[in-house]
Amino acid sequence: MQQKIIILDFGSQTTQLIGRRVRELDTFCEILPYNKYPEDDSDVIGVILSGSPYSVHDPEAFKVNLDRFMGRLPVLGICYGAQFISHALGGKVEKADSREYGRAHLDTVNTENPLFCGFDNGSQVWMSHGDTITAIPDGFECIASTTDVKYAAYSNTALGRGVWAVQFHPEVFHTVQGTLLLRNFIVGICGSRQDWSAASFVDTTVAELKAELGDDRVILGLSGGVDSSVAAVLLNRAIGKNLTCIFVDHGMLRKNEFRDVMHDYECLGLNVVGVDASEKFFADLAGVTDPEQKRKIIGRDFVEVFNAEAKKITGAKWLAQGTIYPDRIESLNITGKVIKSHHNVGGLPKEMHLSLCEPLKWLFKDEVRRVGRQLGMPEHLITRHPFPGPGLAVRILGDITPEKVRILQDADDIYIRGLRDYKVRLSGEEARKVLAAGVPAEMTDGEIEVSLYDQIWQAGTVLLSTVRSVGVMGDERTYEHPVALRAVTSTDAMTADWAHLPYDFMAKVSNEIINKVRGVNRVCYDISSKPPSTIEWE
């Protein structure tokens, strides 16, 4: 039976990050809304309670019946989870004199407690809470403190399988020994066999796909991105030529992307039908400036083109998609209500009469990349940044024309190639972030060398086609378009910070774009974070 950690989500922005950290310990986990604890938990080896934007004293605060699992299974409460456990069991939680946010250090830590085995005194942790625990329940003991937080961690090892709680966030990189704490809980306390890995996932999933699909024909829509590409290679390993992939070129892909990706797919042995439908998309988008209308037209046209090609494949019974775990989590809030329909979880067109196959539905993005490496896929396909389904159409402000797409493709090509070619050396926290994301790099003297492209989550160029600016080139006046460069760092795209790119890199790229791309005479850099901005401009 597959072992599993349950993470109950109380609304924290870092709940997905907890899940990723558990998976990095080769242990399967499932993130569930706080009120959706499973009736059958025979495969569960431990429970983690996440943080929350609420105070335990708020009338609308999320609450869970701890009797469902406490005493039978090991429990770890994080931030709000720690405060909720204390509050529910008779401890005391009060508003802190000031919000406790940022780096702190464990001045005292009980390293004999199994949760802190191997910890250093003075270990750095990350706090983020407005309330603080001022008294812990009877039978519990304090096992770690900081200068300002007496009950930074507490536990009761005699209560059933044990209860542990920390007011800091072990899942974030700023907590230097956070991975060790989670390892102590997941492996040492819960007894994980650590048998969840890319290799085991491939073996298990291929066997399951063979059993489920048999000799059925499967259709998969390829985007050129990592998720659909890994799903295609995984399915190809399971059912071979019974898989037909359809790759639609809507004319707004990156420069030479359709040609290059088709070549990659052929090298991987995939049965791919390439469809150049750019004329249809450009015709239907003519004169359209509203971003939402652009998206709807592209989505409608894509379905029409895909359906027309799918009808040519006789006997198809399944539609495969590259849906990954965050797609499904982001489509529900913690009350189980739909808050947005993701492009991969919105259902199938009724007229297709196909069953849905989602071989990656339990994987995070970094796990998808590890599976891709396990399958022997080329690194440049695996490390590709996320790219919007509507393509460059939502990176052109204003109406779409082939000439505007050409300008943006040329500028974006210079930018992306520059990011790939520029190497940086990282150490400490920054190096750990990149390595944890699965980027292949070797540590030498405490440092790694990676490209700027591998250091950031997503990058792209935006054409401000509704704006013109005055410039001077060759002693002549120009009146052309500006472009904006965008690069962000993130772990899951739900929040993102603008990337601090080196000035010499930005100067070189700006100069090259202005000199080589006809139609551009100004380059800007977007320093907006998400929230309040979004990663894409439209």
The model's pLDDT over 218-246, given as tens digits with 9 standing for 90+, comes to: 999 988 889 999 999 999 999 999 999 99
- Known catalytic residues? 79, 169, 171
User: Is the Cα torsion angle 283, 284, 288, 290 positive or negative in sign?
Assistant: negative
Q: Provide the pLDDT for residue 336.
A: 45
Among residues 173, 177, 7, which one has the least CA distance to residue 75?
7
Q: Which residues contact 162 (CB under 8 A, 6 or more apart)?
A: 74, 75, 114, 155, 156, 189
| Main-chain phi, psi angles of 228, to 5 degrees | -70, -30
Tokens 């974030």 sit on residue: 172
Distance, in Å, from the CA atom of 101 to the CA atom of 127, rounded to the nearest integer, reads: 5
Distance, in Å, from the CA atom of 254 to the CA atom of 382, rounded to the nearest integer, reads: 17
CA atoms within 13 A on the CB side of 270: 29
Prior bond to 137 cis, omega within 30? no
Tokens 């990350």 sit on residue: 126
Distance, in Å, from the CA atom of 125 to the CA atom of 105, rounded to the nearest integer, reads: 6
For 421, the 3-state DSSP assignment is helix
Question: For the sheet containing 108-109, what is the strand order?
Answer: 29-33, 4-9, 44-49, 75-78, 163-166, 153-156, 141-145, 108-109
Helix (H) or strand (E) holding 424: strand 423-427
Token pair in block for residue 93: 């939680």
Taking 70 as the pLDDT cut, the residues of the chain under it are: 97-100, 329-352, 436-438, 475, 492, 494
> What is the pTM for the complete model shown?
0.80
Sequence length of the chain is: 538
Interaxial angle between packed helices 226-239 and 257-267, expressed in degrees from 0 to 180 and rounded to the nearest 10: 30
178-213 pLDDT tens trace: 999 999 999 999 999 999 999 999 999 999 999 999
Q: Provide the pLDDT for residue 478.
A: 84
Which DSSP string do the residues of 466-532 spell out, in sequence order?
Answer: T--EEEEETTEEEEEEEEEEEEEE-SSSSSBEE----HHHHHHHHHHHHHHSTTEEEEEE----BTT
